[in-house]
Amino acid sequence: MTQVGRFIVFEGVEGAGKTTQIRLTAAYLQNQVNVSVQVTREPGGTKLGQSLRQLLLHDSPMNDRTELLLFAADRAEHVQTVLQPALDQNTIVLCDRYTDSTLAYQHYGRGIERQVIEQLNTIATGGLTSDLTFWLDLDVSTGLGRSQKNISGDRIERADVDFHQRVQAGFAALAQQFPDRIIPIDATQTVQQIQTEIQFHLAERLGLGG
């Protein structure tokens, strides 16, 4: 097949299974569909982004708008130095979190005006949107329970449960608002059932495999 670059994002609350499904999807696309794949994430998909990730998740408390600007800075660097160059090389990019996370966490979760976040997303992305976004739909308590990290938790994971519930409701609202782009997947299923569903949509929506 002639490969064209595709930008595929995985979203969901903590412990929803994004890392697990990205790993399986990358192996499937490389080994069975025979396309080149790049796996990346936000925050932290660049060298600068790794420092921003440390500040965002593990260092001192910060104002909500400061947090928003740091996520935007991470994204601007990521789009320009990793995502767009990979897509220009016709690579399939699998990304752990993107702009919907900012709407879910900073708008629905923190309460920052949507318009502000959309403007910043436009500046940071230069208009790059995903071709397909898989939203791994899992209730907050199951996700936090699954996450190994919740024993101590990073700065955002330690936010109260109400915050994470607002984030989860935010993802549900976004999936309703953008049904052509966001595919909800029931993340209470087994790892293999979820992967089968993802492979079905990759074939149906993007012509990848099947």
Listed residue (35, 31, 27) closest to 6, CA to CA: 35
Residue whose C-alpha is closest to residue 46's, from 84, 75, 6, 4: 75
Please name the amino acid found at residue 149: K
- Closest CB 17 distance from ligand Z5A, rounded Å: 3
Nearest distance from residue 53's CB to ligand Z5A, in Å?
A: 8
For ligand Z5A, the closer CB: 19 or 34: 19
Characterize 74-106 residue by residue with b for buried, 16 or more Cβ atoms within 10 angstroms of its Cβ, and e for exposed: bbbbbbeebbbebbeeebbbbbbbbbbbbbbbb
Coil, strand or helix: which one is 185? Answer: strand
Q: Which is nearer to ligand Z5A, 19 or 90 (CB)?
A: 19
Q: Between residues 92 and 108, which has the closer beta carbon with respect to ligand Z5A? A: 108
Least Cβ distance, residue 208 to ligand Z5A (angstroms): 21
Query: Which residue's CB is nearer to ligand Z5A, number 6 or number 78?
Result: 78
Strands 37-41 and 132-137: unpaired
Q: Shortest gap between Cβ of 124 and ligand Z5A (angstroms)?
A: 10
How near is the Cβ of 193 to ligand Z5A at its closest, in Å?
A: 8
Nearest residue (CB) to ligand Z5A, 139 versus 154 = 154
The residue ranges that bind ligand Z5A (CB under 6 A) are 12, 14-20, 42-43, 71, 97, 101-102, 105-106, 146-149, 154, 156-157, 190-191, 194
Task: Name the nearest CA neighbour of 49 among 21, 77, 18, 12.
Answer: 77
